[in-house]
Amino acid sequence: MFTRTELEVMTLQELRVLCQRYGLPPTGNAGYKVSYITTLMAFPALALQQFQQGRGLRQPSFTSFQNISVALQQMNSPTDEQIALIRISLEGRRMRIPDRYEQEKFLNTYKAKLALQQAFDFLES
């Protein structure tokens, strides 16, 4: 990500700002450039190593992945009339109360289905 040469030409303040931008504490004494350089050079590899070890952000288990698939299947696909309602709802048109509440619930369910499908696609690749 960063080369040592690229980092060594920066001032201590520039290195401090870079670490703050990415939310990284310096390694060792914050008064030395090498503390920031070490952190900025090592963090990408450390992050991936932690991911592979199952620390922090982890991939869901195969069972969880299957559960997302089952949820998507249960949600099914909208009918032609439902697609039309989705389109007009996305244009900002609302039904009268009390049907408006069901319309919002329906639209939120559709948005959740889209988000689950996107999550499934991301995890599948």
Looking at the structure of the chain, the number of domains it has is 2
What is the value of pTM for the model shown? 0.71
> Are residues 12 and 36 located together in one domain of the fold?
yes
Average pLDDT on 4-16 reads 96
57 belongs to a structural domain: no
Average pLDDT, the chain: 95
> Are residues 89 and 120 located together in one domain of the fold?
yes
87 belongs to a structural domain: yes
Counting residues of the chain whose pLDDT is more than 90, the rounded percentage is 95
125 has pLDDT over 90: no
Provide the domain limits for residue 76: 62-124
In the chain, the largest separation of any two C-alpha atoms, in whole Å, equals: 65
d(CA 86, CA 80): 10
> Are residues 69 and 119 located together in one domain of the fold?
yes
pLDDT at 1: 85
89 belongs to a structural domain: yes
Counting residues of the chain whose pLDDT is more than 70, the rounded percentage is 100
> Are residues 67 and 113 located together in one domain of the fold?
yes
pLDDT at 15: 97
Q: How many CB atoms lie within 10 A of CB 49?
A: 11
